[in-house]
Amino acid sequence: MLDYKLLQALASVVECGGFERAGDLIGLSQSAISQRIKALEVRIGQPVLVRHPHLAPTPAGQRLLTHYQQVQLLERDLSGALPTLDDAAPRLRIAINADSLATWWAKTIAASCQQHGVLVDLVVEDQDVGLKRLRDGDVAACLCATPTPIAGARCQPLGDMHYHPLATPDYRQRYFPEGVTPDALAQAPAIVYGPNDQLQHRFMAQCGYQGYFPHHLCPSSEGFVQLAAAGMGYGMIPFMQARSLIENGELASIAPSQTLKVPLYWHYWRHSGELIQHLSQALGNVTLQ
Amino acid sequence: MLDYKLLQALASVVECGGFERAGDLIGLSQSAISQRIKALEVRIGQPVLVRHPHLAPTPAGQRLLTHYQQVQLLERDLSGALPTLDDAAPRLRIAINADSLATWWAKTIAASCQQHGVLVDLVVEDQDVGLKRLRDGDVAACLCATPTPIAGARCQPLGDMHYHPLATPDYRQRYFPEGVTPDALAQAPAIVYGPNDQLQHRFMAQCGYQGYFPHHLCPSSEGFVQLAAAGMGYGMIPFMQARSLIENGELASIAPSQTLKVPLYWHYWRHSGELIQHLSQALGNVTLQ
């Protein structure tokens, strides 16, 4: 059995961003905290913290933290049956795709988190990387576009996000005066989220074009919209994120008949406790359009 | 002297996300591209590409790409003097802090990028990590809050971003009915961007509180605002990002007298060519409030 006092010390150091504040939090001296971290590192035979460029858990340390959080979640369920147990706010570590986080996520889960006193620790990852984190035990749940379930985990479909190829009206007039022809697509600067982002390629394939196209790279959901709204390029943007910009005429589709649907799935471990169940229920009611 | 045909092959593969498309782009067969990549790897004695989880440059490959981009920038300046030279769209790789990217960045640089046909390749990094990328030659410029100049680089101050501690009015009423007292700060869930984010701690110190506070972690600028607007916590948000939400009453400051100023600096290599100079001029006119 693990010594959970050691894990608690690790969690406090990461939570507070320092040994002294961690000691304040759990009522120990800085040197006692330091000893517990050392004891933990001896126990597992490798470092659990790095100091540079800032204090952070190593992959092994993060794995231990997630385990500690999962045990806390289970204890919280237990304390429902045995109310005399302590009940500190549990933290749920969740991998999530950037576009969901920038749009519907918070308002969908806020009430459930508030009701059950949950804190979230969000990790922004797209697609397979998020699922790999779930498989590795680095996160308790994962929201992504991959339907493939993981053994031991549930996979709940949430519906489709709708993406439109958006640009400013000026941009559309400048680069696509005759519509999205192959020639125009080969010349017009696009915006691509990153190397994992295949939406732009899918859109081009739908338009019958394959080949080189100039593009900006912008790995930020909101930055992506800002680049499009500033007229730097066109890009595939979730309709719900651009709704107000479309309504006030700042952005418009360059090809209204061409939209892309991206299905989203919520993956979580079967035995991860009631809080995840509550969250999953809240997610069951989401509207993604 | 490096063989720039090999670098061009690498750049094309990364740009197009595949060997075949890269071949189409520069008029070579897939196997010719593959041979050039191999020759490059032999030349520098290590891999320049990884295949999994997706095709991407290794750190050494990225270093070569940035060098290639810099040479392209210099060639572009040259082609201004010798107009018969080819002038393909150059790409500027820039490290930038998330809040700038989510707010003022695109509209400030868009006209300059369009005028000079520049494509940007943005890397979201805060503070020292971005500067380290500049020092390592991984990016051509860096926008961050660190004033320390790097040898050989210029450091241009851009002014201050103003951060306010914002939450929904309901949240403020629930957790801070008597203002930001130490007791309230120890109980109210905050939102923190990540382990590098010291804004929340600075705000608490200004309020005379040091110690544990419950918090969500959300490493996304727009997600951060969404969490606050959904009532999940309060957090330090750039005024310019929250302006419309403040005006329509969705967000309000929990401590109107407590704002934080974060100065921003633009770092770039002295000899990085005219395009960076144009961009720096555009940035010189920015208003961050």
Q: What is the pLDDT of residues B135-188, one digit of tens each?
A: 877 788 999 999 988 888 899 999 999 999 999 999 999 999 999 999 999 999
Q: How many CB pairs below 8 Å do chains A and B form together?
A: 156
B259 to chain A, minimum CA–CA distance in Å? Answer: 22
DSSP B90: P
Residue at A6 is within a domain: yes
Complex confidence, ipTM: 0.74
A59 has pLDDT over 60: yes
- Counting residues of chain B whose pLDDT is more than 90, the rounded percentage is 49
d(CA A60, CA A252): 47
| A45 phi-psi bin (left φ>0, alpha ψ -120 to 50, beta other) | left
Give the nearest partner residue to A223 out of B101, B214, B218, using CB atoms: B101
Residues 250-289 of A with CB under 8 A from B: none
Give the DSSP H/E element, type plus range, for residue A60.
helix A59-81
Give the nearest partner residue to B217 out of A121, A221, A229, using CB atoms: A121
Q: Best mutation site among A51, A216, A243 for testing chain B: the one with the most B CBs within 10 Å?
A: A216
Q: What are phi and psi of B122, to 5 degrees?
A: -95, 140
Which residues on chain B are in Cβ contact (under 8 Å) with A16?
A: 212
Confidence (pLDDT) at A46: 83
DSSP string, A241-271: HHHHHHHTTS-EESSTT--EEEEEEEEEETT
Residues 108-127 of B with CB under 8 A from A: 109-110, 113-114, 119-124
Residue ending a domain, among A57, A77, A104, is A57
Give the nearest partner residue to A16 out of B89, B132, B212, using CB atoms: B212
Q: Of A126 and B288, which is predicted with more confidence? A: B288
Residue at B249 is within a domain: yes
Contact status, residue A222 vs residue A122, Cβ threshold 8 Å: no
What amino acid is encoded at A279 in this protein? L
d(CA B81, CA B83): 6
**Helix residue ranges, H only, B118-273:** 127-135, 169-175, 182-187, 199-206, 221-229, 239-247
**For B46-74, how does the pLDDT look when each residue is reduced to its tens digit (9 = 90+)?**
889 998 778 889 888 888 888 788 777 77
A137 has pLDDT over 90: no
d(CA A35, CA A21): 15
The verdict on a CB contact (< 8 Å) between A113 and B201 is: no
Q: Best mutation site among A126, A226, A244 for testing chain B: the one with the most B CBs within 10 Å?
A: A226
CATH (domain of A249): 3.40.190.10
Which residues on chain A are in Cβ contact (under 8 Å) with B282?
A: none
Residue at A36 is within a domain: yes
Which residues on chain B are in Cβ contact (under 8 Å) with A66?
A: none
Domain that holds residue A39: 1-57
* Chain B contact present for A226, CB below 8 A: yes
* Chain B contact present for A195, CB below 8 A: yes
CATH (domain of A45): 1.10.10.10
- Point out the least confidently predicted range of A73-87, B219-233, B247-261: A73-87
How many structural domains does chain B have?
A: 1
Contact status, residue A234 vs residue A171, Cβ threshold 8 Å: yes
DSSP bridge pairs for A143: A96, A266
Find which of A207-216, A232-241, B24-33, B193-202 is predicted with most confidence, using mean pLDDT: A232-241
The verdict on a CB contact (< 8 Å) between B222 and A110 is: no
- Which of A48, A271, A65 has its CA nearest to residue A154? A271
A209 has pLDDT over 60: yes
Give the nearest partner residue to A102 out of B21, B215, B223, using CB atoms: B223
Measured on CA atoms in the order B237, B169, B187, A119, is the torsion positive or negative?
A: negative
If you average pLDDT over residues B181-201, what whole number do you get? 89
Chain position carrying tokens 């992959």: A59
Identify the band that residue A279 occupies on the pLDDT scale cut at 50, 70 and 90. Answer: very high
Contact status, residue A123 vs residue B219, Cβ threshold 8 Å: yes
A258 to chain B, minimum CA–CA distance in Å? Answer: 22
Chain position carrying tokens 């939090």: A25
Residue at B121 is within a domain: no
Residue at B228 is within a domain: yes
d(CA A72, CA A83): 15
A165 to chain B, minimum CA–CA distance in Å? Answer: 18
* Per-residue buried b or exposed e for B14-41, using 16+ beta carbons within 10 Å of the residue's own CB: bbbbbbebbbbbbebeeeebbebbeebb
Confidence (pLDDT) at A83: 52
Which residues on chain B are in Cβ contact (under 8 Å) with A105?
A: 223, 226
Residue at B40 is within a domain: no
Contact status, residue B109 vs residue B102, Cβ threshold 8 Å: no
If you average pLDDT over residues A145-171, what whole number do you get? 93
**Peptide bond between residue B53 and the one before it cis (omega within 30 degrees of 0):** yes
Residue at B28 is within a domain: no
Residue at A66 is within a domain: no
